[in-house]
Structure 1
Amino acid sequence: MNKTCPNPSCAFPHFVIRDGHFRRKDDSKVIQRFRCKNCGTRFSNATFSEAYRQKKRRVNFPLLKLLASGNSLRRSALLLGIHRTTVERKLSFLGKKCRRLNQESLLKLKGRIHNIQIDDLITKENSKLKPLSVSICVDENRRRILAVEVSQIPAFGHLSRFALKKYGQRKDEHFEGLTRLFQTITPIVSSEVLVKSDEHQRYPGFVSAYLPKAKHLTFKSERGCVAGQGELKKVQFDPLFIVNHTCALLRANVNRLIRKTWCTTKDPKRLKDHLDVFVYFYNEVLLKMALTPL
C-alpha cells in the first residue's frame, strides 16, 4: 500500500491504514478508503485521481471520442444527455489530461525519431479578420503527431486593412508558438533529424537554433485541391504529404477547424485543448487500430 496522507501539515504522512470502502454512485466502482493514524484525516483512492469530485465520469471517454470525430460541443452534449456547460468544463479537463498523456507517450520515442515534417494550418478566432496559426510537427515514419501549438497572427492579404480598421493592431504571436513547438520536439527527436517543410521564412532560423545538426529540406508550396479542404495538393507527388494529410484530418475531425462551419473558436485556449484531445485520440486509437492508411 503506497498511499500518503493528503494533509500537508501531517508529521507522519505514510502512517495510514485501510478504513473500509464505498461504492461510487457515478460509475459503480468500489473505492478503498484510508485513514491517517497520525492526524485522523480520511481519504480514498479517488482523492488522488484527476477526475476527483467529478459527478459524470462515465461520459469522459465517450465525450473524447465525439470531440475527436467532428462533433460540436452542443451536439456532443445532446448525444450524451448532458448540459453544454458540462461539455465546456470537461473539454478543459480532457485537454489538460491529454496533454500529459501525449507528453508521456513522446518520451517513449526519445531519440528514435529521424524524420519530421512541419507546417502551419490557418484558422480563425470568431472572424476571418482575427486569424490563428496552428503549427504542427509530424513523425514522417510513424505518422504520429508530435506537437501542436496555437498562436494568434494578424490578418494578411486583402483582409488586413479591414482587420486593422475594425480591431486595430493585432499582435503576432507566431514566433512564440514556434518556440513552444521546437521546445517540445527538440528533446525527443534525434540530433541529426531530417526536417522537411515548405518555404516559410521562419522555419530555417528555428531549425538552426534548436536542431543545429539537423538537415533541413524545403519545398515550394503547391496549390491545394478541393479534397482535404485545400490541405491536400494538386500534384502527383507531394513531398510533404504526411503533414498535409494530417492537416486535412484535423479539418475533417475537429469541428471548429472546418472552413465553412457555424462552429468557430471563441478562445484560442479551448482550441488548444480540442487539438490535444484529437492528438491523443489519433495517436493512441486511430493509428493503433490501423484506421488511417499507412
Structure 2
Amino acid sequence: MESSQCRGSSERRRRSLEHFIPRSCPSQECESQTGTSPFEFVSKGSYPRACDGRRIPRFRCKVCGKGFSAQTFRVDYRLKRPLRLLQHFELFISKVTMRQCARITGAKLDTVARHQRLLGEHCRALQRSLLVRAASTSERQLEVRIAFDELETFEIDRLEQPVTVAVVADAKSLFIYESEVGALAPRPSARSRRGERDPSKQSVSGSKVGRERRCGSRRTVRAALRRTALWLGPKAAVTAISDFKSTYPGAIHRAFGQQLVQHIKVRSTSPRNTRNPLFPANLTLAMLRDGASRLVRRSWAHSKHRGRLRLHLWIWIAWRNWCRERVVGSRRSTAAMASGLARAAFTIEQLLGFHGRFEELAGLP
C-alpha cells in the first residue's frame, strides 16, 4: 500500500514537471523583467536528473537568449541531494536540533544551517505572497479578530541577551499572520553579575560592559502589527485581543487606525482555558515552543543569533498554516482553509515546490 502511494506521488510530481510552463525569465538582466519586452520562450527538450530520475524540461528565452529549465524555479535548485531538504524540513518542525538533524541525515552541520536559511526564506515568501494577493483581490469587508502576545527566549546568554518573539494570530481560525523577533534589555541580575567583574573585560555577548542592549519590545510589536494590517487590507474591520501591557494600545492604534473596531484587554492572571479571549494566542505560543527546538525552555538548543530564530519560526509557521490540520480531528482542514486563503491542504512536497507559484498551490485562480 505504501509503495503504491509513493509511486502515485512520484508520478504526479513527474507530470507536474512535464507540463511546466514558465511565466518569466529567471535572469534579472532580461528586458522582460523590466516590462519593456513581453516574455517569450521556446522548448529545448528535456534531460534526466541524476539524483532522482525525473525528466526536467528545458527552455530558452527569446528575449535575452539565455537557457533555463523547470528546475531553475524550484526550491531545491542546484542541490545534489534534494531529498535531504525534505528530511530537514520535517525535522525542523519536530523539535529536533540542528546537530541532531546532521546526525540523523548524515549531512554536515553547515549544510543543515544552509537548508534552514533556504527553507525559512522560501516559507516567508510563500506566506507574504499569498496574503498580499488575498488583500488585493478581496472585494468584501472582512471582520477579523486577532489575538497577539509575546514570548521570551534568549540568544547565547539568558540574562544578558534575552529575546522577545511577537506573534499575531487569527482568534477564530488560528491562522498565524505575522511573527517578529527583537532584542530585550539585559536583566537586572545580569548587571549585578557584570558588576562583580573587571570593567575592562567583555561580557558574554562579546560587547563592552558599558554598552547596554536596549529593549526592542515596542519596535517588535509595532512591526508585527503593521505588517498584519498590510496583509489584511484596507477593508478589514479589526478586533484586537491582548493583555494589559502598556505599550500595546499605542501600537494597535498606530497599525490599524480607523480599521480598529475594539481592543479587548485580558489580565495575564486570568485562567488560561478556552473561555479566555486570549486563548488563541496562548495556544499558538505553546505550540510554537513545542514544535521549534530553539524555543524549548531550559535546554541548550537555544539560538546563537536571533536572525536564525526568525527563519526557523517561518518554517514552522508555514507548516502550521498551510499543511497541518487546524486542530486534531478537523479532517485535514487547515488554518489557511478556515481563513479562506486556500481551498485544500498543502503537502510538504507542494510547499517546497516552485518559487512564485504559490497561487496554484493554494488552489486559487
TM over 0.5: yes
Residue of structure 1 equivalent to 2:323: 285
Residue of structure 2 equivalent to 1:192: 237
Alignment-mate amino acid for residue 133 of structure 1? T
Q: CA deviation at 1:41?
A: 3.3
Residue of structure 1 equivalent to 2:80: 55
Q: CA deviation at 1:236?
A: 8.3
Cα 1:62/1:124, change in 2 over 3 Å: same
Secondary structure of the 1:91 match is helix
Residue of structure 2 equivalent to 1:226: none
Alignment-mate amino acid for residue 193 of structure 1? V
Secondary structure of the 2:230 match is coil
Q: Do the aligned residues in 1 keep the contact of 2:272 with 2:279 (CA within 8 Å)?
A: no
Partner residue of 2:268 out of 216, 221, 246: 221
Q: Where does the alignment leave 5 or more consecutive residues of structure 2 unmatched?
A: 1-20, 136-140, 198-202, 204-208, 336-365
Cα 1:36/1:237, change in 2 over 3 Å: closer
Cα deviation code 1:4-47 (max 9, x no counterpart):
55563679884543222111122321111223567653322222
Residue of structure 1 equivalent to 2:187: 156
RMSD: 2.9
Residue of structure 2 equivalent to 1:46: 71
* TM-score of the two chains, using structure 1 as the length reference: 0.85
Q: 1:135-150 residue pairs with structure 2 within 5 A?
A: 135-150=166-181
CA distance in 1, matches of 2:128, 2:310: 15
Q: CA deviation at 1:291?
A: 6.0
Alignment-mate amino acid for residue 182 of structure 2? S
Residue of structure 2 equivalent to 1:119: 149
CA distance in 2, matches of 1:133, 1:102: 22
Cα deviation code 1:111-164 (max 9, x no counterpart):
545111110000001111210000011100001111110000102354454368
Q: Do the aligned residues in 1 keep the contact of 2:294 with 2:302 (CA within 8 Å)?
A: yes
CA distance in 1, matches of 2:173, 2:38: 44
Q: CA deviation at 1:253?
A: 1.1
Cα deviation code 1:171-212 (max 9, x no counterpart):
322233223202211023364311110111111001111222
Cα 1:236/1:19, change in 2 over 3 Å: closer
Cα 1:249/1:289, change in 2 over 3 Å: closer
Q: Where does the alignment leave 5 or more consecutive residues of structure 1 unmatched?
A: 224-232
Residue of structure 1 equivalent to 2:162: 131
Alignment-mate amino acid for residue 149 of structure 2? D
Q: Do the aligned residues in 1 keep the contact of 2:98 with 2:109 (CA within 8 Å)?
A: yes
Secondary structure of the 1:186 match is helix
CA distance in 2, matches of 1:194, 1:45: 44
Alignment-mate amino acid for residue 176 of structure 1? R
CA distance in 2, matches of 1:292, 1:256: 28
CA distance in 2, matches of 1:195, 1:38: 49
Alignment-mate amino acid for residue 200 of structure 1? K
Partner residue of 2:290 out of 230, 249, 252: 252
Secondary structure of the 2:118 match is helix
Alignment-mate amino acid for residue 287 of structure 2? L
CA distance in 2, matches of 1:256, 1:107: 29
Cα 1:101/1:290, change in 2 over 3 Å: farther
Residue of structure 2 equivalent to 1:206: 251
